[in-house]
Structure 1
């Protein structure tokens, strides 16, 4: 018996140590272990075309993603909005501002080339807000990542601001002098036209009016003591006293004084030819002045027309003024061999892309430029249909926008006038007292 057991054990050892393959039935672990596969992080984020807007009717916000994503709508409003004024919450969780509510449980595909574009109604009347500056925080209901689910925009409602259109003729018996005054914060110079009775040399009158200062409390004068102003065959000499040191101290004040003198005198060339400006001190030529400006800048500075100026709006004392902002051709992408039409497109884009604290674009972002063409020296600007609806109740702001186009686009070499259309059709009854079906030229006297 013992021998039999030994044989069985030896047989089992041999069997288990052999290379024979067994087909064992697999164990079904289904339902007993949950394996979580990491879900790739969503790339959804928000974009707005501008972060500061004036008197808007609506704003367009985009949901974008760097990869293909399918979004399921779980709310009847894509955004809710929180509104702050002076860092205090004045309205919260406002929803249903979209013109069309999305369908709940609907799915939308979004990727880099196909964003979700939503128009949100933020008209002042619709929200019941007073004039003022507000911070709007738009919160997306379809982005889970709270760090990406909101975007803020500064919104200014300013129904009290008015614009006084430029004019082409001076009142009888007067001369129109365009004077350049700095803003209260010394950010830039604002051109203001003043009509005065001619009682002496026009160049001397212009300097005296600079000394008299602006009427607006939010503009200032940096021109004080001047010994004499002489005009000789188109060359103007401004003599300054050495006893008045403010022109030569402080870089900002010195530059503003210099530019105020120069721009104001060059604007006199509508009446007299102005070829150059020279500054003397105590009737002597100097090699440097105005806080380090070179001899070339202060002696026989030539009157050369400046190109590529963008006319933006500045508000002072409840009034809007247009002012010039020098564009850098390199920064906005203008090349020497660009056509005039291409230059015009790049300058139009600058209305949206120029962000300065002291200037507001007079062109709402809903306005787009469909086409540009040149006929002779007239630039034809064709806009989208939204152009016809901007500033519906503010005829003066429409005037401001069109005059900005007039002053801006005629600083392109080869352009002296513009014509505006919308969807290739003439624009009628758009602005009172201005026939927009005709070719338009920049008015002579800005900001009267």
Structure 2
């Protein structure tokens, strides 16, 4: 019992002595276990008023917002740096003075807080940015924010200033001869067909060459063909001899343009004469390569290649121009081929070209009836263009030329939800069978 008594006594003494020391200790244990939260730092972020998918925008409003009061001093002359993309290509990476908001830049602070933002109005109109019609991504990066995770805003824009389109025709203008001639645009980015109505004064092959050497009426187009040594047509052949003295004919820039404009223009002779081959010589000699690297050692055979006809806008006029579709398997069924062409119309349009298709317009199915291809659209066709006759004519001509470029298609019919489309183009009936007109992009309007 004594042992238990002493053990209990020692325990009680230890317990009360430790508690007594804790209570009377000069250390404030309550304060020692409190951890202060770090002070919140002011941070700038960007916000855009409204949507970031815009069509034909003018001004947009961007705000610098903050979570806590802060002062901004010595603002840069350009608050935003602008980069403009068309697809994956950077069109411009300059710093534009887009701001429509007047901000006094001096030594005084600009105070912003949760309730008072720094608001900037920016002009991203087509005229201000000097952009052509088309779809772009504009990336606006703030020069006030260093954190790359929140210092920029992406805006997707589409500019459409409208256009004039002169539809293809079979009317040969009071009995004149229609010759389709090809010219590069002034920037040498495309080759455009135009039909010129003339009084025939020379043999057909020499007349074609003569027209290629004339300056086009549209000053947005240029001629690249000058003198040749001779041009002869015989037995479905055209023989063209090029002077080596003209260095432009073999330059890397102009050579391919010269070759394409001559070749394409002479292929159009088949409206009047049979043409199967073009033979090029240089000062009467057969040469393996010329025109900036194009192989001409063998005769150039005229082949039937599927094409897509897209738009190319020069000033306010829209031209149809053709692009070869070399990756289409013509051994597949017509629906597969049509779907492939539709991909080009909707997703594979090259830069600076225009598709007549708009968002929501689809070809539901195609049917080949003999050599007539029936294109059955969804009902978006009936409403999407409203009363824009230029866009309607552009669409119809593009469809006709594109699908009749297929070897087994001679004509098309256009339907919407399985029914013929009535009253689509003023004073023109498209409810029946449509064949490709002879004369594309008439020059003499």
Indicate the TM-score class for this superposition, using the shorter chain for normalisation. Answer: 0.5 to 0.7
Whether 1:305 and 2:307 are equivalent positions in the alignment is no
Whether 1:154 and 2:157 are equivalent positions in the alignment is yes
Whether 1:432 and 2:426 are equivalent positions in the alignment is yes
Q: Work out the CA distance in 1 between the residues paired with 2:419 and 2:175.
A: 41
What SS class does the counterpart of residue 231 from structure 1 fall into? Answer: strand
| Residue number among 343, 346, 359 corresponding to 1:365 in the alignment | 359
| Residue number among 349, 352, 357 corresponding to 1:355 in the alignment | 349
Q: Structure 2 unaligned runs (5+)?
A: 13-33, 36-52, 58-83, 85-95, 102-124, 126-130, 141-147
Q: Work out the CA distance in 1 between the residues paired with 2:401 and 2:296.
A: 31
What SS class does the counterpart of residue 182 from structure 2 fall into? Answer: strand
Partner of 2:5: 5
Quickly say closer, same or farther: Cα 1:429–1:177, change in 2 above 3 A: same
What SS class does the counterpart of residue 236 from structure 1 fall into? Answer: strand
Q: Work out the CA distance in 2 between the residues paired with 1:255 and 1:395.
A: 36
| Residue number among 298, 302, 317 corresponding to 2:315 in the alignment | 317
Q: Deviations over 1:143-192 (max 9, x none)?
A: xx986996533322323x20001011312332111111011111121000
Q: Work out the CA distance in 2 between the residues paired with 1:179 and 1:236.
A: 16
Question: 1:254-273 maps to which residues of 2 (within 5 A)?
Answer: 254-273=255-274
| Residue number among 358, 378, 381 corresponding to 1:384 in the alignment | 378
Contact 1:175 1:197 in 2 (8 A): yes
Residue 390 (structure 1) shift = 2.7
Question: 1:141-220 maps to which residues of 2 (within 5 A)?
Answer: 151-159=154-162, 161-220=163-222
Residue 87 (structure 1) shift = 6.7
CA RMSD of aligned residues (A): 3.5
| Residue number among 331, 344, 356 corresponding to 2:338 in the alignment | 344
Residue 4 (structure 1) shift = 4.5
Q: Work out the CA distance in 1 between the residues paired with 2:54 and 2:225.
A: 33
Residue 323 (structure 1) shift = 0.3
Q: Work out the CA distance in 2 between the residues paired with 1:87 and 1:200.
A: 57
Q: Work out the CA distance in 2 between the residues paired with 1:327 and 1:335.
A: 10
What SS class does the counterpart of residue 279 from structure 1 fall into? Answer: strand
Structure 1 stretch displaced more, 386-395 or 312-321: 386-395
Q: Deviations over 1:32-59 (max 9, x none)?
A: 99xxxxxxxxxxxxxxxxx998x89xxx
Rg larger in 1 or in 2?
Answer: 2
Residue 238 (structure 1) shift = 1.2
Question: 1:403-442 maps to which residues of 2 (within 5 A)?
Answer: 403-442=397-436
Contact 1:417 1:441 in 2 (8 A): yes
- What is the TM-score when the length of structure 1 is the normalising length? 0.67
Q: Work out the CA distance in 2 between the residues paired with 1:52 and 1:301.
A: 47
Contact 2:305 2:326 in 1 (8 A): no
Whether 1:239 and 2:241 are equivalent positions in the alignment is yes
Residue 440 (structure 1) shift = 0.8
Q: Deviations over 1:93-125 (max 9, x none)?
A: xxxxxxxxxxxxxxxxxxxxxxxxxxxxxxx9x
- What is the TM-score when the length of structure 2 is the normalising length? 0.67
Q: Work out the CA distance in 2 between the residues paired with 1:368 and 1:138.
A: 31
Residue 8 (structure 1) shift = 4.6
Q: How many residues align?
A: 333
Quickly say closer, same or farther: Cα 1:337–1:197, change in 2 above 3 A: closer
Whether 1:394 and 2:404 are equivalent positions in the alignment is no
Quickly say closer, same or farther: Cα 1:3–1:341, change in 2 above 3 A: closer
Residue 2 (structure 1) shift = 4.7
Question: 1:5-24 maps to which residues of 2 (within 5 A)?
Answer: 5-6=5-6, 8=8
What SS class does the counterpart of residue 162 from structure 1 fall into? Answer: coil
Q: Structure 1 unaligned runs (5+)?
A: 13-31, 34-50, 57-83, 92-123, 125-130, 140-144
Residue 227 (structure 1) shift = 2.1
Whether 1:446 and 2:440 are equivalent positions in the alignment is yes
Contact 2:305 2:406 in 1 (8 A): no
Residue 446 (structure 1) shift = 0.5
